[in-house]
Structure formats: structure tokens, C-alpha cells
Amino acid sequence: MNKHSVPFHRYLISLVCVAIISAGVVHSWMTRSVLSDSASNQADELVKIHELYQTIQQDYYEEVDPNALIEGALQGMTAALDDPYTTYLKEEESTELNEMLSGQFEGIGATLSVKEGEPEIVEEPKENSPAAKSGLKQGDRIIKVDGKETKDQDLTLVVDQIRGEKGSTVLLTIQREEQIFDVEVVRDTIAVESLAFQIDQENPTIGKIQIFSFNSTTASELKGAITGLRDQGAKSFVLDVRQNPGGYLDQVEIMASMFLEDGQTIVKFGLKDEIIGETKASKLLDDGFKVTEPVIVLVDGQSASASEILAAALNESAGITTVGQTTFGKGTVQGMNHFSDQSELKMTVQKWLTPNGQWIDKKGLKPTYEIPYPAYFDYPSLSTSVGLKITDESEAVGHLNEFLTLLGYLSVPSNKVFTEDTKQALMDFQEENELPVSGELDTETAFAIEFRLIEQEKETDEMYEKAVELLMQNE
């Protein structure tokens, strides 16, 4: 596989979830000043940096933005550490990360995707959100934002134009079927739920809780989910942290404490080879809220950091079974240092270890029951192979044929040739999914095929079925 390829399931997850700019992070907030003008001028170690800065300013053949040089130097310092989790974040990047972890942002509360080059609302807006109050509906296309056309614009840029401060107004030009009209929407604070829960339809004594991230409200959301599921008759729970990249350390400590007896170890911390501290379950953390019902935890290769802390604590301290794949393997903790210009330094400050003292960095946690995803989950995204057409022959064509076969549009064994059967199957798929019918692989068709495969896989979720089987055995 090309080392620059993006595995199809990882790429698709990024399409259907909130974009995460800091995957696999445990944050431990630190409040301290990290800039000192006088100190930077006096330090001998920085003389060379000042000399280089002055030389570029004086001798470079074009005018240089001094702020660009400073920003580049800051980014270069963190890059020199060769630590993917230590990063200098400019103001806009810092704002995005903080909004993600806070569990809320300011906007209109609509989920967008690109259809035929234009942003479209792909889900019914949340109840009481600005979008819902303004009458926006699923399927509405936003063709202009404040008078600026959105056709073929990057979706991120369009979203940035729509979002804004609470109380401000954005003018959207909407196309709804044959109608085109303007809608003024007053922006507000939008809460982002970090988990979802439901009773299993076939086994009404089992409650499933899917945790997407560990933001500032996740522990209270989990308590509410468990209480709500108990009220609906749940006698056991499946905690699903698959594809969960992590988040706040304090939140996962509270959550783990709910499932452990007071005094049991949640996580240990270390520097080099020395253990410097640990966190144990206590009423101080969980306020006396305990989960004593049977529990199974689902993990996969994208369960990282805080997700791994939770899975390890429940498995090693409480003997709770884990099901799925070996986890990501991210065993460090980051602190956030704030600069006066609203930029931030996200820096690794210590490592964390499981209750049994394992450092799982770059190794991950092996589940009690290992169940692999289908092989095609590790294929490159189809979106990297747009333009495939009749008579083409390649590995990517073989993947396309396999996907179309799995979805029921091809009946012959998959091969690496784009045949007339491939073209017809692709046209059938495009027609049934209301896409432009070309018989060639375009970006929109590639995304739609992968989304359909994910939806199909959810219906036959072997990991979840194994968890249900284990819980039913204990009844």
C-alpha cells in the first residue's frame, strides 16, 4: 500500500464525524505564562536565532513578514522534538481545539456535506437550534452565504463563513427543490454531544453507549446515559470507544471511577522509568455514582489515549472484558500552555501507564476477545482513485469491483479490470443513490460507496454481537 494512502475507513470516519485536529490526545490543562521578552533576549542559547532573524530581515531579497518568521521558528522548535503530540497551535487552530474539547461552539447547528459541488444540510437540524428555528430542513442546499456563492468552495471555508459569534446574524440563500429564498439565521451556542446511547432492540436489558470523545461534559453525559438506560430497563451495558481519539484526562478519570471500587487504581503516571503518581477511584471523583451491572468495552485500532485509559482501568482493575482490536497505543499526556496572543503550545509532559504498570505507547492494549474488521477496511480510500473508467486496470479497480460486489451491484468475482459490468454496476449505484450517472468513479460516488459500506457493516457488527453474546451468557 502506498504509504501516503488514507485507509478508507479512517477517511470515511472523518467525513461523518466532527473533524478532529488533535487525534489521540489526553489533555491535562496547565495555566502558566510561557512568554518572557526579557528572558528571550538574555538567553545565550537564543543568540543564533536572533542573528538568523536579523540576517533574514536585512539581507533577504524580498520584504519578509516578521510575524511569519516568528511563527515558523515556534513551529520549528516543536517539530525538532519529533513528537507528533507536541505542537504549536496558531490562534485559529487553538480556538478550534478548545471548541472541540469544550463540547460546544457558536454557529447555527446544521450538519453539512457537499452535494454536486454545493453544501447541503444532510441531517434534520437539532431541535431548538438556530437552524431549526429558522425553518431550515434536511436536503436544503446553501448556495450563498452573506451573498457569496458556495459552488465548488471548500466545505471548511463555507463552514467558517456560517459560524460566528453568538447573537450575530448570517444570511443564507437556500435552494429547496425548485425554490430559492433567503433565510436570516441568528447564531447561538451549540452543544456537541460526546456520546449516544440506546437500548438494544433485540435484547432490551442491554444498553449500548457509544462514546465519541472525552470533552468537558462527557462524564456528566455518561452518568445521564446510564441513568436513562436503567430507567428503560437496562441490566447491563456495552461501552463502545471504537474510533474514539481521546480528550480530557479528568473526564476519563471520573468515568473510570464509576466502574471501580473506591481505592482501585485507574491510571499511573511516570517520567522516564520512574512512577511519579497515580489516580484511584474515589467518591471525590465519581460523587458516589457507581455502575455495578455487567459491562463489556469495545475497542479498535483507533481507540486512543483516554479511550485506552478507560479500557485498561476497567479491564485490569475491575476484570471487565474488552472486545475488538488492539488499540492505537498512545501512552503520553499533553499539557496546554497559553500564549498572550491566544496561540497555544500543546506539549507532552508525562507518560501514563495502566494499573498493572504497562506503558502501552506504540503497542496498544490487546482485547480479551480479538475480532478483526473486514479486510477492505484497510484499503486506500476510493476518493484517491477518482477518474476510474472503462478498460482501466489496477489495484484500485479491484477494490471498486469488490465494493460493488459487497453492495450487491456486481455478481461476478472481483478482479482488477474495469469491465462493462463494472460500468453498469456503477451506473446502477449512481442512479439508485441520486448521483450524476456517468459510469465513471467521481468523488461524490466514491464517498457514497464507502458510506453505504459502513452502514452495511454496522448492520452486521461482529464486535458488538460478541459483546451481546457475552452479556447474555451472564444473565
Active site residues: 305, 316, 330
Q: How many Å apart are CA 182 and CA 378, to the nearest integer?
A: 43
What's the Cα-to-Cα distance from 263 to each of 279, 309, 312, 319, rounded to whole Å? 9, 17, 16, 15
Q: Look up residue 217 and give its amino acid.
A: T
DSSP 90-124: -HHHHHHHHHHHHTEEEE----EEEETTEEEE-SP
Q: Look up residue 31 and give its amino acid.
A: T
Q: Which three cell numbers stand for residue 238?
A: 456495552
Cα 154 to chain center, whole Å?
A: 19
Find cell 431548538 and name the residue. Answer: 128
* In contact, 397 and 387? CB cutoff 8 Å: no
Burial letters for 223-235: b for 16+ Cβ neighbours within 10 Å, e otherwise? bebbeebeeeebb
* In contact, 162 and 170? CB cutoff 8 Å: yes
Q: How many Å apart are CA 271 and CA 75, to the nearest integer?
A: 25
- Total number of residues shown for the chain: 475
Q: Which three cell numbers stand for residue 248?
A: 480530557
Closest-CA residue to 297 (of 346, 256, 351): 256
Which DSSP state fits 409?
Answer: S
Q: How many Å apart are CA 427 and CA 421, to the nearest integer?
A: 10
Residues 6+ apart with CB under 8 A from 114: 120, 155, 444
Find cell 449505484 and name the residue. Answer: 429
Burial letters for 179-209: b for 16+ Cβ neighbours within 10 Å, e otherwise? eeeebebebbebebebbebebbeebebbbbb
* In contact, 31 and 252? CB cutoff 8 Å: no
Find cell 507532552 and name the residue. Answer: 348
* In contact, 244 and 303? CB cutoff 8 Å: yes
Q: How many Å apart are CA 210 and CA 232, to the nearest integer?
A: 17
